[in-house]
Chains A and B, each alone.
Chain A
């Protein structure tokens, strides 16, 4: 085999992993994908890639891929393979029976950021137009819902203000609760390129991440805060900006609500947010808080990128507002090189947010309570729609436990593994009479499901994704769907089975419907994207090829002005105690992706075969721990067993783990606390203790799991 075999065909598509949304050329021989080459014209990646998109695509072909629909009357029964028609009829019959017995609102739907815009839109259409309620949510609920809320309050748009390339004009880069070189690697490379050119770097993160220090890239200031003190530290940075008058008065007077600015100044300017007060609370040097504030305010171009380390807190939305406040006060919005930007975790989190998979808003973030908006959807869909907000995903689970919620259509999610307080989620699942799961593989949630629709991977369907910079790119079918139907077809046929007549020739017609009903997407079409490669919303009459930088002239709020929210620090109820003296925080690693559904089925597990617990040497010594020892970690909610790794990346008092492997059940210990505004779970702070154990209970199964993962 001296020379490689040349691929026969190549299709340009968009990566299914993180929120960077890299363009790839998927190359095939016959019906087999043999290579993914990063697309040089991909505007999010410019020909670069990471291990996941470039190499970890073979999961689509994994031996345990489910290829036929499955049903069962009880979760104690074995699965029965059935035809598509039978599966649709059974699921529809059950949903109708449940609604007749328990009411219209006893059923809901959840879509996934792993799905296309078209599929997400169809799923909310299914909930609103067919099930007749607003019990529709998506997995952004548990990651970036505070972004939508917090940014909308301050700057009017719950999305990144910039395009990725904007960072190449930044002088100061502030990264808060994100680790781009692991979580968003291709953007991380772009960021490093700019840092090598001389940009200064501020990192706010409890952990000394790879972003803090790597080859030719070192943070000028690293605020290694105690988990849960984001709002305190950001208010303290604001305090320095206010007290030292580092704010941009001209910008504030031209572009913001000045009275609210004054209110904000009074709040954060109070002595209680002085670095000397907050430093000890957040466990950082007050001088570093001042340095960070001066660097950021000094610019001239300062930009903020943030991740789930900001949002996944009981004050997640408040933390996002703090960032909006900072950007406004220093005039770091509305041009290239600046901005406030969420780094979205999954490929289509932004799309999930835009397309109305929320219980309170339609696509384009317009409230279901608004008569005019609702009427436009009623006219298009030919039904009367519920005028009241529905249940959020965590509330659906709460309601299921209470017995008022009985059925769920889950498209491309695994809430049992990914949602917090696993015991509560399982109790909710067990209490439902019909859980319809639509996925590629049986997973933790399928143990409690009654119907399984075998879905199509993103290599097997057409549609669009919206990445973290609001860029809408095409997902193109590379091979035929292995189970026979593309995901959007499955949802449409399920709607048909439920008695709602509709059909589309292709998902481009769904995008056309989205465009008709959503002002920010009104110019989007398959034809436009095919022609110009991709387009960032807003894409409409005024911006026919999309918009790279938001807020240039005004903010999309009623009066066009940005505003300041009062962001008092409220410590989380999750506190350390004698019994649980350590704070656990969680994160992702480069080679694995979220709950691992895809990456665990690829050789990526060679790099990360299991989740480990990072612990500081000081805490390890106090517990008699050595590197590699098995430990039991317990919280108020549960306990798990995993291996310890002694690490200088975490400070004393803090431990860290990833949540990629189902067997380690990281979410068995995470708390039931959530963001005050959006119920986004507080994954990033759990009080725990760690003790050494000799041999893990059920070692055999753990070893088996690791072997299985490594295969």
Chain B
């Protein structure tokens, strides 16, 4: 009921909201862990000290299952479910690392990387940058000439933060933060597939939209596409 907000910790991101159910015991990579029923496998893994890489998940928002980075294997089940949207079950045996998982994650992260401004990989410290580092992804096999969003325009209409769509991975964390945390519903995803993009209101500049500038979207953004202007010295332009 309120564990979702009261169970948050400053220095860890459990990936999905804490729950308050009866205890459920399972194994993560052979290590036993007990978490409340209703928790995700991702939360159980983080609790067990086996944090699973993720991009669209964060513990202030309900699971969404879109980035496909947090895939796992579960003994006795087929496929590679997303750990954020998979609830824990008694006796479940979960594998967070395997050759197949590494290959899948590499593929997915490479795709994200292929549409991210190349010169802005070095020196970055967003969750996206840190995830690439942790997974050892420095290049992708998709070449340079493909479709991309590198020409998208920066929206710097808000005095406090800017939105640089070239760095957006369309994980919807901002959209969900605006709805679930703030309750304003100012943001949405416009378009489908490769055309999908985050827009404020009816595709307006942030300042002209219903946005109340609470900062929840900026805080939720894993790739510094939404970022505080105060963190820059001088004008914002691409390298």
The reply to whether A and B meet directly (CB within 8 Å) is yes
B124 at the interface (CB under 8 A from A): yes
Residues of A within 8 A of B (CB): 1-7, 25, 34-35, 37-41, 43, 46-51, 54-55, 58, 165, 168-169, 185, 188-190, 192-193, 196, 214-217, 590-591, 603, 606-607
B219 at the interface (CB under 8 A from A): yes
Do A40 and B183 touch across chains, with their CB atoms under 8 A apart?
no
> Out of B117, B210, B230, which one reaches A34, CB within 8 Å?
B230
- What are 29 contact pairs spanning A and B, CB under 8 A? A1-B232, A1-B234, A2-B117, A2-B239, A4-B228, A5-B232, A34-B228, A34-B230, A35-B228, A38-B215, A39-B10, A41-B8, A46-B8, A48-B214, A48-B216, A49-B214, A49-B219, A50-B212, A50-B214, A51-B160, A51-B215, A54-B213, A55-B160, A55-B161, A55-B228, A165-B5, A168-B2, A169-B1, A169-B2
Do A606 and B182 touch across chains, with their CB atoms under 8 A apart?
no
Taken together as a complex, chains A and B put the C-alpha atoms of A47 and B18 apart, in Å, by: 14
> Out of B120, B181, B185, B215, which one reaches A54, CB within 8 Å?
B215
Question: A53's closest neighbor in chain B, by CB?
Answer: B215
Do A2 and B231 touch across chains, with their CB atoms under 8 A apart?
no
B9 at the interface (CB under 8 A from A): yes
Q: B234: which A residues are within 8 A, CB to CB?
A: 1
A41-B10, A216-B185, A606-B207 given; A3·B120 CB < 8 A:
yes
Q: A43: which B residues are within 8 A, CB to CB?
A: 6
Tell me how many residues of B have a C-beta within 8 Å of chain A.
44
Question: B60's closest neighbor in chain A, by CB?
Answer: A47
Q: B184: which A residues are within 8 A, CB to CB?
A: 214-215
Q: B214: which A residues are within 8 A, CB to CB?
A: 48-51, 54, 185, 189
Do B216 and A49 touch across chains, with their CB atoms under 8 A apart?
yes
B144 at the interface (CB under 8 A from A): no
Do A46 and B5 touch across chains, with their CB atoms under 8 A apart?
yes
8 Å CB interface, B53-81 against A: 60
Do A165 and B213 touch across chains, with their CB atoms under 8 A apart?
no
Q: A189: which B residues are within 8 A, CB to CB?
A: 181-183, 214
Task: Write the B207-238 contact mask toward A (1 if CB under 8 angstroms, else 0).
Answer: 10010111110010000100110111111111
Do B183 and A603 touch across chains, with their CB atoms under 8 A apart?
no
Residues of B within 8 A of A (CB): 1-2, 5-6, 8-10, 60, 117, 119-120, 123-125, 159-161, 180-185, 207, 210, 212-216, 219, 224, 227-228, 230-239
Across the A-B interface, how many residue pairs have beta carbons closer than 8 Å? 122
Q: A188: which B residues are within 8 A, CB to CB?
A: 183
> What are the 4 A-B residue pairs with the smallest beta carbon separation, nearest first?
A603-B159, A4-B231, A192-B183, A2-B239
> Out of A41, A165, A214, which one reaches B2, CB within 8 Å?
A165
Question: B230's closest neighbor in chain A, by CB?
Answer: A34
> Out of A49, A55, A58, A193, which one reaches B183, CB within 8 Å?
A193
Question: A188's closest neighbor in chain B, by CB?
Answer: B183
Question: B220's closest neighbor in chain A, by CB?
Answer: A47
Taken together as a complex, chains A and B put the C-alpha atoms of A321 and B197 apart, in Å, by: 52
Taken together as a complex, chains A and B put the C-alpha atoms of A216 and B216 apart, in Å, by: 18
Taken together as a complex, chains A and B put the C-alpha atoms of A288 and B234 apart, in Å, by: 56
Do A5 and B233 touch across chains, with their CB atoms under 8 A apart?
yes
Q: A217: which B residues are within 8 A, CB to CB?
A: 183
Minimum CB–CB distance from B60 to chain A (whole Å) comes to 5
Taken together as a complex, chains A and B put the C-alpha atoms of A48 and B234 apart, in Å, by: 28
Do A47 and B8 touch across chains, with their CB atoms under 8 A apart?
yes
Q: B224: which A residues are within 8 A, CB to CB?
A: 3-4
Taken together as a complex, chains A and B put the C-alpha atoms of A54 and B212 apart, in Å, by: 12
Beyond A51-B212, A55-B215, 4 additional pairs, beta carbon < 8 A: A35-B231, A169-B2, A215-B184, A217-B183
> Out of B125, B185, B219, which one reaches A3, CB within 8 Å?
B125
Taken together as a complex, chains A and B put the C-alpha atoms of A116 and B16 apart, in Å, by: 36
Do A6 and B235 touch across chains, with their CB atoms under 8 A apart?
no
Do B212 and A590 touch across chains, with their CB atoms under 8 A apart?
yes
Do A196 and B183 touch across chains, with their CB atoms under 8 A apart?
yes
> Out of A1, A55, A216, A603, which one reaches B233, CB within 8 Å?
A1
Do B1 and A168 touch across chains, with their CB atoms under 8 A apart?
yes
Taken together as a complex, chains A and B put the C-alpha atoms of A5 and B238 apart, in Å, by: 14
Q: B227: which A residues are within 8 A, CB to CB?
A: 4
Do A2 and B119 touch across chains, with their CB atoms under 8 A apart?
yes
Taken together as a complex, chains A and B put the C-alpha atoms of A2 and B159 apart, in Å, by: 19
Minimum CB–CB distance from B147 to chain A (whole Å) comes to 22
> Out of B60, B120, B228, which one reaches A2, CB within 8 Å?
B120
Question: A590's closest neighbor in chain B, by CB?
Answer: B212
Q: B219: which A residues are within 8 A, CB to CB?
A: 37-38, 47, 49
A35-B228, A40-B8 given; A603·B160 CB < 8 A:
yes
